[in-house]
Every structure is written in C-alpha cells, then in structure tokens.
A and B are shown apart, each in its own frame.
Chain A
Amino acid sequence: MTEQSYAADRGFLSTGRPGILGWIFSTDHKRIGLLYLWCIVTFFCVGMLLGLLIRLELFSPGADIMTAQTYNAAFTLHGVIMIFLFIIPGIPAAFGNLIMPIQIGARDVAFPRLNLFSWWLYVTGAALALTSLFTGGGPPDTGWTFYVPFSAQTSTNVSLAAIAVFILGFSSILTGLNFVTTIHRLRTQGMTWMRIPLFTWSLYATAWIQILATPVLGITVALLFVERMLGTGLFDPNLGGDPIMFQHLFWIYSHPAVYIMVLPGMGVVSDIVPVFARKPAFGYKAIVVSSLAIAFAGSLVWAHHMYTSGMSDTAVLVFSFLTFIVAIPSAIKVFNWLATLYQGSILLDPPLLFSLSFILLFTIGGLTGLVLGAAATDIHVHDTHFVVGHFHFTMFGGTGMAFFAAMHYWLPKIYGRMYNKAVATVAWGIIFIGFCVTYISMKVVGMMGMPRRYFDYVPEFTGLNQLATIGSWILGIGLALMFYNVIRGCFKGTPVEANPWGGASLEWQIPSPPPTENFGEDDPVVTHGPYDFKAAGIL
C-alpha cells in the first residue's frame, strides 16, 4: 500500500463527523476503543510516574523526597490509578472494543450508545478520582483497598474517591453487559461458538465477572461513603458492626477483579501465539473451558487476602484449599501455549516477544501466588513486599505485557501503519530486564521481612531496595522507548496492508485501517476456525 493510497482511505479514522466532537460523541466501537486506549495509556503513564516516585523515596531508609503522609497518598494513588484506570478497563475497553466485534463478524456491539456512555462514565470517574487529589482533606492515604476503620475515619478525601470508584465500576459493568449480549446475539453466519477466536472467548468470560462481581464493589464503596457521611457504623464495633465484613465485601469483588485483569491478557496471548508459531492453537476447547473455569473458580477464593484478618480458622482452611483449585485452569493454559509453540515456525516479532514474557512472568507470578495462597506460608509473607512482587509479576508481567503485546499486534491494523520492529524489540529487552531487576529484588526483600506500605525500613534492606529502584529506572526507560516507538508508528510508520502478521481471524481479512462499517455492505460468512491458516489461504 503506497503512502498516497493510504492517505486517501483511512477508513473509520477519517469518516464520520469531523473534529473532536466526531470522536467523543461517536458510537463506532472502533472510535470508542481508541478513546479508551489513549486515556488508558495516559493514566498508565501517570501511574508509572507515581511508581517511579515511590521507588525513589524507597531508595534509602528515612525520608528522601517526601513525607510519610505524601508516601501514603502516593501508593494509594498509584494503586487506584493503575487498577481502576489502567488494568481493569485496559484490554477489554480498549482492544475489546476495537477488535471483538470484528472478530465475530459484527458491525458494532449490541448497544453502541451504551458503549459511548460507558466511556463517558470512565472519564467522569477518572476526573473525580483526580479531583480527590486537590479537594476535601487531600488525596486518600488508605491504600487502594480502603480498609476500615482507617478509611472511615481519615480526613483525606476518601468519600470522593469512593464515588469515583462507584462510577468507574458502573462503566465496567455496562461494558461487560454489552460484550456478553454482543457475543451471544451478533455473531455472523458461520461464526459458531467453537469458531470464536480465543481473545473474544476471554472477553466473554471476563464480561461475566464484570457483571456479577463489580456490583459488590459498588455496594462496598457506597457503604463506606455512608459510613463516613452518616455514621452508619455497619463496620464499626462500637455500633455492633464488623470491620472484617468490609474486607469480605471488598475482596468478593477484588479477587474476581484480578481475573477481569488477567483473562483478557491470556486471550491476547492465545490469539498471538498461534499466528507467530504458524500453528493452530493447541487445545482450543481446553482454553475455552479453562477461561470459564477461571471466571467461576476465581469467585470462590476471595478470603485468601484475609488469612491474618481475624476471621475463623475454618474459613482460613476452606479458602486456602479453594485457592489451589484456581491455579489448575491457569496452568492448563500455559501448557496449551507451550504446546502451540512446540515445533512451530516461530516468528520473533514484538507481539510474540511480549507474549512470551507474559507466559514466563505470569507463571512465576502464579507460582508465588501459591506461596500466598497456602495459609501457613502466607502468615510469613502477608503484607510484605513479597505480595507486592507477586502482584506486579501477575498484573504487570502478566496483563501489562499482554497489553503491550496487543498494542504491537493490533495497532498496525487499526492505524494501518507499522512501527519500527527493531526499536520495539530493543524496548522490549530493556523492559524485561528492568522488570526482573525491580520485582525479583522486591520479592526477596519481602521474603526477608520488609513490610509493604511502610514509608521507612531497617538498614538491612537498603541494598535490595536500591537495586529495585535502579531496576525501575531501566523499566521506565524501556517503557518510554516502547511508547514512543509504537505511538510514532501509529501516525508516521510505514503503511501496511490488511494482514501484516498472517492471521486467520476476521479482523485480518478487512483493510487496515478498517472501514467504519467493518465489512462493507454484506455481512461476512465464516467457513473455518480462527487459526485455520490453511483454509484462510495464508500458509
């Protein structure tokens, strides 16, 4: 495709109402997906900066660049932004919106206006969360988990943050509802359930969790709000309440939430690996079933976050046992990805590099999850930096890497332009090294006993903390290079055709960038599976 013909036809990017109004009031799933994408990337960068500041403060014991109060606010904000503004919406809202309807042969989602409303809710929630920085008693200092009694008593602006989280949750719910309906009702002719790409399957499983678990977060933050505003005392022992009940309600959502975070990432990897191994996915059905199994089993285990809270020993036993079960479907996926790669014809392009890091780092994160899931060992590492290392391995090494993989895989389709693959590879290498230095050090120092959310630490932990901080700088450099390269690629990269990677799913059969109505006048008819390269005429 020449630069001229590309400029002439930029598909959905140039059709429709002109100017910014044509974007922020668009009901085109692709435009909404990009609106989400750029907001999400922006908030990731803000969260990343906060992370770098936290690591800078932890460079040596005592105060380095901030007071203890500021530190508390910094890790709270880092968590709130990364979780509610980056990871949870992340892949579903950005890439789910961009790609899923195309993958099933639809023109759009089931409820396009609701989809736009979801984005507006996201923006509103984000605005309110950021407003809490500057209003009321200042930014919340409770940690993103908002535990009572402190969250009910602190003078910082927890109330506004609670409202923001409620609105963000509502955005997530509506997206989930939209996606489930879309996948049930709008599959094109020939797109049977067993021909749906694994990315879309992962979004389906995720959407169910969004629908069923998020409302519990809603009621939890609403209860916190009335506890603060009206003094309802439902979690206050003086009024007969039970603070541990807050933790139950909170984690009933927040544990399934981590599967909202990781399932789409797994879906991205499941789509990418076959394409870059030039082999159909190994165990397609097993991956489908395991996605649904993770969604279900993930809602049985929440109190493994609460072993030291004071809940009953019986509960500790039951939840520890159940937690081991949820590791099984995740492991099944890892085996399937590896089996897909085995004896494949491997193309080490950036999407695969990020996917391979996902597989490795998520596995390590998952294994450390077993240390945490086993109650006996958890007693030693609960609320230490071991936990922080664990969830950064799974959420950053896992979902984060998958998000980057998705960017490198699908943005050339969306913008019709390819980034510099060599630079992307170098950026990936720097990120990988920086990541390992940062978070392995963190896990070791956590194992040695360094608590999390502490502003200070004993001198014995200094070396590892400094190593982790240096790692964070390497990570930051890698991320900056990666974003620079991939974003530049979107607007100034070499134009590409419809199928630069040789994929067999439907999104690769339409032009890059896609036209507004995706498939033109007639709906597509599907005759083969999403990884059937032979039938698609690609192999």
Chain B
Amino acid sequence: MSGHEHRDDVGARFGMWLFLFTEVLLFGGLFILYAVYLHRYPHEFVTAGGELNVWFGGGNTLVLLTSSLCVAIAVTALQRGNTTLCLRLLGVTIFCAALFMVNKGFEWSAKIGHGIYPGSAHLHDLPPGEAVFFNIYYVTTGLHGIHVIIGAAVLIWTMVLIKKGRVNAGRWVMLENAGLYWHLVDLIWIFIFPLYYLILH
C-alpha cells in the first residue's frame, strides 16, 4: 500500500462538500437578515418586491437550472469517455453563466437608472422597510453574482484540464467538484428567486 500515489476521490468530494457548507453559512447570514427584516417590514417588502421584475428573476432561474443540467450530464459524459460531449456541455454552462450575468446587468442598470442603489438619495427618501429590501437585495444578488463568476472560472479551468487530458474518464473528481460548486450557485438562487421576486402579498 505504500509508495504509490495516494488518491482518495471520496475524501476529495467530502472536502468539497465541507466547503459548500461554508458557502451555505455565508449566505445563511444574509438569509438571517432577510428573515428578520421580512418579519419587521411585511408590507414594505411587498411594495419594494413588486418593483423587481419576475421575468428577469424567473428567466435567470431557468438559465441556472439548465446550466446545472448541463454540468450534471457533462460528468456522466466524461465518466463514459465522451470527452467531446463533456466539453460542449461545459461550454453551454459557461454560456448560461454569461447569460445570467447579462440579465443581471440589465436588471441592475434599470434599477440604478431609477435611482435605486445602495447609498442613493432616492433610497433615503423611501420608507425604511423598502430601503432595507433593496439594500439586502443588492448585497445578496451581488454576492451571488460574484459566486457565478467564480463558479464559471472554476469550470473554465476544469475545461482546460480536460482538454489537456489531466481530467479524464479515469480521474474525474475535479470535474465532479467543480460541478458541485456550480450546483451550489444554482441552489442559492433557488432560494433567492422566490424570496425576492415572488413577494407579492
């Protein structure tokens, strides 16, 4: 047992899951704040929430769910030795990530154009509960957006390694782990979407 390369795929995945837990707790802090302020400002959250566009939000939800599908299939593809399909699917995932960010860009610019952004004079004039909604919306979706970019970067790096043959049908745990991170990005949005875009009552 000694002397040869020590490879532990289960350990590698376990480590990745532990890291995902830290991300859950990181966003968890923001969800604690959201819960508290939703409880405190139920009407203002509805008013402010109504200003968010459910098409942008819902559209981005579909984009991320589809990107997760692509990553999941990509893992199976690689495991079956179908490297070309794997790379194509990862490419689609990156495209979805870009699409998500573009959508987000449009959404944010629209809001910013209306004077709704952290520190703005308009936000100061709004009822406090509405200001809180928009501030926590920006912080949460901003942090999520950063994670989309990080996740995409990790996937791109994985694609490079697959092209080089360092990640392949015999050793795919790096792709699995990159995929796990990407699915987390999707998971967080699964909660962000209803909490921010579907507060209608």
Residue of B10, B24, B37 touching A185 (CB-CB under 8 A): B10
Per the CB 8 Å criterion, the residue count for chain A at the interface is 43
Which residues of chain B are near A111, meaning CB under 8 Å?
A: 15
Q: Which residues 127-160 of B sit at the A interface, judged by CB distance below 8 A? A: 127-132, 135-136, 138-139, 143
Say yes or no for B23: interface residue by CB 8 A criterion: yes
Residue of A114, A216, A234, A523 touching B139 (CB-CB under 8 A): A234
Which residues of chain B are near A233, meaning CB under 8 Å?
A: 118-119, 123, 131-132, 135
Digitize B15-28: 1 where CB-to-A-CB distance is under 8 Å, 0 elsewhere.
10011011111111
**Which of B1-9, B54-62, B178-186, B190-198 lines the interface with chain A?**
B1-9
| Closest residue on chain A to residue B132 by CB atoms | A240
Say yes or no for A232: interface residue by CB 8 A criterion: yes
Which residues of chain B are near A126, meaning CB under 8 Å?
A: none
Say yes or no for B11: interface residue by CB 8 A criterion: yes
Residue of A177, A219, A234, A238 touching B26 (CB-CB under 8 A): A219
Specify the main secondary structure of chain A where it touches its partner: helix
Per the CB 8 Å criterion, the residue count for chain B at the interface is 43
- Contact check, A239 vs B11: say whether CB atoms are below 8 A apart: no
- Contact check, B135 vs A239: say whether CB atoms are below 8 A apart: yes
Which residues of chain A are near B19, meaning CB under 8 Å?
A: 173, 177
Say yes or no for B30: interface residue by CB 8 A criterion: yes
Q: Which residues 185-222 of A sit at the B interface, judged by CB distance below 8 A? A: 185-186, 211-216, 218-220, 222
A238 to B123: give the CA distance in the assembly, Å: 11
- Contact check, A240 vs B37: say whether CB atoms are below 8 A apart: yes
| Closest residue on chain A to residue B127 by CB atoms | A240
Which residues of chain A are near B8, meaning CB under 8 Å?
A: 110, 185-186
Say yes or no for A522: interface residue by CB 8 A criterion: yes
Say yes or no for A181: interface residue by CB 8 A criterion: yes
A234 to B132: give the CA distance in the assembly, Å: 6
Q: Counting chain A CB atoms within 10 Å of each CB, which of B2, B18, B32, B138 scores highest?
A: B18
Which residues of chain B are near A216, meaning CB under 8 Å?
A: 25-26, 28-29
Say yes or no for A521: interface residue by CB 8 A criterion: yes
With A232-B118, A233-B135, A248-B32: A212-B21 Cβ-Cβ less than 8 Å: yes
Say yes or no for A242: interface residue by CB 8 A criterion: yes
Residue of B18, B123, B143 touching A239 (CB-CB under 8 A): B123
- Contact check, B29 vs A219: say whether CB atoms are below 8 A apart: yes
- Contact check, A521 vs B14: say whether CB atoms are below 8 A apart: no
- Contact check, A240 vs B41: say whether CB atoms are below 8 A apart: yes
Say yes or no for B124: interface residue by CB 8 A criterion: yes
Say yes or no for A452: interface residue by CB 8 A criterion: no
Say yes or no for A17: interface residue by CB 8 A criterion: no
Which residues of chain B are near A232, meaning CB under 8 Å?
A: 118-119, 135, 138-139
Say yes or no for B69: interface residue by CB 8 A criterion: no
- Contact check, A212 vs B3: say whether CB atoms are below 8 A apart: no
A357 to B41: give the CA distance in the assembly, Å: 52
Say yes or no for A500: interface residue by CB 8 A criterion: no
A223 to B41: give the CA distance in the assembly, Å: 20
- Contact check, B118 vs A215: say whether CB atoms are below 8 A apart: no
Residue of A181, A245, A522 touching B18 (CB-CB under 8 A): A181
Residue of A173, A223, A245, A249 touching B22 (CB-CB under 8 A): A173
B27 to chain A, nearest CB (A): 8
- Contact check, B32 vs A249: say whether CB atoms are below 8 A apart: yes
A233 to B123: give the CA distance in the assembly, Å: 10
With A177-B15, A181-B15, A239-B124: A249-B131 Cβ-Cβ less than 8 Å: no
Digitize A237-267: 1 where CB-to-B-CB distance is under 8 Å, 0 elsewhere.
1111110010011001000000000000000
Q: A219-B28, A233-B123, A238-B128 are in contact. List 6 more A-B contacts (CB 8 A).
A: A176-B18, A177-B18, A220-B29, A237-B128, A240-B127, A521-B2
